[in-house]
Amino acid sequence: MAPEYYNNETFSVKSDVYSFGVPVLEILSGKKISNEEDLRNFVWENHRAGTPLRVIDPILRGGSTVEMIQCIVIGLLCVQEAAGRPSMAQVDLKLNSYSTSLPQPGKPACVWRNTSELECSVNEISITELVPL
């Protein structure tokens, strides 16, 4: 789920772009990490360090390195702060074109959840035991 939803409970078309980027990174890495922030940061740190191929699932390593790195960058562009995310039309163009230059992605968006605003509900139930007469 997009960080802006956690932060201020709003969805936008940029939320959809984020929701596209996370599974792209999961597919490339071959990892379904329960904490998606860890996955995003793992990919980001390897990209920034110039070691993006460390992210790639060993099963995929026989494929085109150029295309895999392009997909890593696209995935990272999709999970950065909402203002910097491309539109889905731009993502489509980047996925279908080698001539389209890719900007350097920014750091992945952060999730700041205000726990003081969490709501809870209390359900009062009663249990009746039925005993045959």
Contact criterion met (CB below 8 Å) for 21 and 51: no
List residues bridging with 108 in a β-sheet: 80
Q: What is the mean pLDDT of residues 89-118?
A: 74
The amino acid present at 19, given as its one-letter code, is S
The pLDDT, as a whole number, for residue 6 is: 61
Residues in contact with 13: Cβ distance below 8 Å, sequence separation at least 6, in sequence order: 87, 88
Q: What is the mean pLDDT of residues 33-43?
A: 76
Distance of CA 87 to the CA centre of its chain: 15
Enumerate the domain spans of the chain: 3-111
Span 3-111 CATH architecture:
Orthogonal Bundle (1.10)
pLDDT class of 121 with cuts at 50, 70, 90: very low
Of 24, 35, 19, 92, give the one whose Cα is nearest residue 57. Answer: 24
The pLDDT, as a whole number, for residue 124 is: 56
CA–CA distance, 46 with 123 (Å, rounded to integer): 47
The pLDDT, as a whole number, for residue 117 is: 46
